[in-house]
Amino acid sequence: MKEMRADILVVGGGLGGVAAALGACRAGKSVILTEEFDWIGGQLTSQAVPSDEHSWVEQFGITRSYRKLRSGIRQYYRDHYPLTEGARAWDDLNPGAGWVSRICAEPRVSLAVIEAMLMPYRGAGRLTVLQPYLPVAADVEGDTVRAVTLRQRDTGRQVTVTADYILDATELGDLLQMTGADYVKGFEAQSDTGEPSAPPVAQPDNVQAVSICFAVDHVDGDQTIDKPENYDYWRRYQPEFWGGPLLGFTAPHPRTLEFTTRSFTPNVEDDPLAVDADQRKGGGDENLWIFRRIAARRNFRPDFYASDICLVNWPMIDYMDGSIIDVSEAEKARHLKAAADLSYSVFYWLQTEAPRLDGGQGYRGLRLRGDITGTEHGLAMAPYIRESRRIKPVTRIVEQDLSYAVRGAKGAMHYRDSVGIGMYRIDLHPSTGGDNYIDVPSCPFEIPLGALLPQRMKNLIPAGKNIGTTHITNGCYRLHPVEWNVGEVAGMLAAYCLEKGLSPHQVQEEDGPLHDFQRALGREGIEIRWPDVAAY
């Protein structure tokens, strides 16, 4: 078995893991970053989900390095794509002109920019990326993680990595279970958290649905795939709160729960420059084609794209038949295969049975674009994970800390140890326990350092969706820029502790080190307080 060593090991190469590696490498530390899929970048790349961001993202409210990522994506299009004159002159270029985000782009472009951001540190020998590797065991002594063993996904070859600090940036908080760290999952009980939206009794196996996304375009000819194996099962599938079959355009509205029928029109003749992706003005998902469109053909030279490219991450692909957390590998594989079957079934339904505005059925010109998602099977490379295991933290973030209904004009809780900021509505998708959407308006919030600290473990730091939120507050702390902020701070915290000879808990507890660390965050462009946003 091969052995390796670094100052800091980051397990998981999603947005949190990438940001953690950047933060630690900038501070001069040696880093090993691991990722189980062929692409790093997680939500934005292998999971193929356009960025979910708050309404002020173009002005403030994200870290400097996340802004560099966004700017880099736009510049990549300007440098390499035949944009129209209008699109090229658009300062806040939205290549896909999707309504879900101010910057909807193809996953490969995001991947190229992320790789470029890491490249200097790889060239300098400061960063080593192990890919595709996944963790299989941990060596723990007391409350300290000494090493993690990883397995190469395809060959089975194993490597053991020792490091002073271990950062868990996996999508499901795998190291929490592997190291024996104290963690929770699913719904906490209202008697525990006091949250207005929590159930009376804890429901640990009730987690948000996973989704396996896919990209489509619409071209001439019959592109119909073979009927999926379990199509008839999914064609009959109808959650009691749904308002119709899952394979249909009618579903609960995430905010009001009223039954809403959406439209779907491939290659609508809209003006991409007129798209205003401001979530304050509505969800923008009335027409599913343009909701998460990642390439708007009219942003490019005529005839360069045969069609728009649309990313399918819609209500109907949410898999609610079981959790993939703390189950056997066989059970996890079964659920992920079923989630893929659901996505194929949705696509086949769109091709063959979806009602058209002209009274016909199906869009046989729809084509799976596995080349866009980097796969031969046509779906996204990785499942879209909304909810992870979560540490039992020093500071737990609960609904009443940021709910607008509770906090009102006071705004979200002000934390003495804030290490970042974020904003999004508490947006919970249907769950494996049969719950409908939960939507709670929230205030612009802060990220307390105590939420990144396990109560007991000394050198294990969460760097993604596994921080000390609850099932409820995970609904707004799980989004792209917040995950990046959390990861970046985790990487910088580990580096700071190595530099100063302090523990993470000392940094959080003692005013001197805390304020010094917060100043270090500020120098790297990490905002820890919100400005007065009333005027924006």
Q: Are strands 293-295 and 460-462 parallel, antiparallel or unpaired?
A: unpaired
In degrees rounded to 5, what are phi and psi of residue 463? -135, 35
Where do the DSSP E strands lie in 293-412? Answer: 293-295, 309-312, 318-319, 366-368, 390-391
The rounded distance, in Å, linking the Cα atoms of 236 and 250 is 14
At 382-398, the pLDDT tens digits run: 999 999 999 999 999 99
Q: Which sequence spans correspond to the domains of the chain?
A: 2-50+105-188+386-523, 210-267+307-373
Q: Are strands 183-184 and 309-312 parallel, antiparallel or unpaired?
A: unpaired
- The candidate with the shortest Cα–Cα distance to 372, out of 131, 130, 110, 153, is 110
The rounded distance, in Å, linking the Cα atoms of 202 and 433 is 11
User: What 3-state class would DSSP assign to 140?
Assistant: strand
Residues 474 and 188: beta-carbon distance below 8 Å: no
Q: Which fold has domain 2-50+105-188+386-523?
A: FAD/NAD(P)-binding domain (3.50.50)
* pLDDT the model gives residue 286: 79
pLDDT of the chain, 536 residues: tens digit per residue: 799 999 999 999 999 999 999 999 999 999 999 999 999 999 999 999 999 999 999 999 999 999 999 999 999 999 999 999 999 999 999 999 999 999 999 999 999 999 999 999 999 999 999 999 999 999 999 999 999 999 999 999 999 999 999 999 999 999 999 999 999 999 999 999 999 999 999 999 999 999 999 999 999 999 999 999 999 999 999 999 999 999 999 999 988 999 999 999 999 999 999 998 887 776 566 789 999 999 999 999 999 999 999 999 999 999 999 999 999 999 999 999 999 999 999 999 999 999 998 999 999 999 999 999 999 999 999 999 999 999 999 999 999 999 999 999 999 999 999 999 999 999 999 999 999 999 999 999 999 999 999 999 999 999 999 999 999 999 999 999 999 999 999 999 999 999 999 999 999 999 999 999 999 999 999 999 999 876 44
Residues 223 and 366: beta-carbon distance below 8 Å: yes
The rounded distance, in Å, linking the Cα atoms of 103 and 449 is 29
At 177-207, the pLDDT tens digits run: 999 999 999 999 999 999 999 999 999 999 9
Q: Which residues of 452-483 are buried (b: 16+ CB within 10 A; e: fewer)?
A: bbbeebebbbbbbbbbbbbbbbbbbbbbbbbb
The rounded distance, in Å, linking the Cα atoms of 272 and 274 is 5
| Cα angle, residue 371 at apex, residues 368 and 372 outer, rounded to 5° | 85
Residues 206 and 433: beta-carbon distance below 8 Å: yes
CB atoms within 10 A of CB 182: 12
- Cβ-in-10-Å burial (0-12, 13-18, 19+) of 434 comes to exposed
Helix axes 64-80, 107-123, angle to 10 degrees: 110
Residues 512 and 519: beta-carbon distance below 8 Å: no
